[in-house]
Amino acid sequence: MDKFFKSILDADSTIDTSISLKSALIIVLCAFAVGVIVSGAYMIASGKRAAFSQNFMLTLVALPPIVSLIILVVGSSIAGAFSLAGAFSLVRFRSAPGDPKDIVYVFMALAGGFACGRGYVTYGIFFIILICVFMILLSRLGYGKKRMNVRKLRIKIPENLNYTDAFDDILKKYTKNFELEKIKTIDLGALFELTYHVTLSTDINEKEFIDELRCRNGNLTILLTAIDDKTSFKG
């Protein structure tokens, strides 16, 4: 078993630390395989309805062979450590606008490329597949997903409508609990905007819920979003 996970570069170890073309080719191809596995796992875990960038998928495929080439050229373990630190610092380009899950897959691609670059192609492919399988399973099982249907509800009402308890009866009918978080005037005081934090009841008809609210607020704008939704409320 130890021989199975042995670095293929051990066979090329000479005094001048040269690497054969065959070994280098195997390493780069295996690194490409790692990139394909990681990007494929990302798409599967995200689901059919999820939107993801083709550029990000291509980046996941290209990262492992690029990292493996860097490690192959650098060679020594000390320099390799600095190279790895520099490569991992590139994750910052994705950390600002991206999803935390994206960063995990970038790390996996980098780690797989580094393992291949050091010649441990079996380690790289085997453990990347193992991690990807776990990520897909956890995603499909809904691990960490919110169990409560928590939403943010924003309602526009005319200025002549008394917003105090104006929607309480409807909210009690369709939600488990609710709280009025914010009230502000808009359109030069012609309208009020009410912001509620609500937990919807199980198996409610959201259209009926919205329709009853529309009848009460004069068919003005109503916005019901997930609590972590960053979409701005416009119009």
CA-CA distance, 182 to 233, in Å (whole number)? 14
Q: What is the pLDDT of residues 140-150, one digit of tens each?
A: 887 776 656 88
Residue 75 confidence (pLDDT) above 80: no
The per-residue pLDDT for 222 is 94
pLDDT tens digits along 15-47:
345 677 888 888 899 999 999 999 999 988 887
**In 3-state terms, what secondary structure has residue 134?**
helix
pLDDT of residue 45: 86
Cβ–Cβ < 8 Å for 103, 91: yes
**How many whole angstroms separate alpha carbon 12 and alpha carbon 21?**
10
- Residue 199 and residue 149 in contact, taking contact as beta carbons nearer than 8 Å: yes
CA–CA gap between residue 154 and residue 186 (Å, rounded): 13
DSSP string, 53-69: -HHHHHHHHHHHHHHHH
Instruction: Answer whether 223's CB lies under 8 Å from 154's CB.
Output: yes
For residue 52, name the pLDDT band (cuts at 50, 70, 90).
Answer: confident
* Cα angle for residues 153, 156, 162 (degrees, 5° grid): 105
pLDDT, tens digit (0-9, with 9 covering 90-100), for 185-221: 988 888 999 999 998 888 888 899 999 999 999 899 9
Q: How confident is the model at residue 130 (pLDDT cuts 50, 70, 90)?
A: very high
What domains are there in the chain, each with its CATH number? 8-140 (no CATH), 150-226 (3.30.70.380)
DSSP labels for 6-50? S-GGGGG--TT----HHHHHHHHHHHHHHHHHHHHHHHHHH-TT-
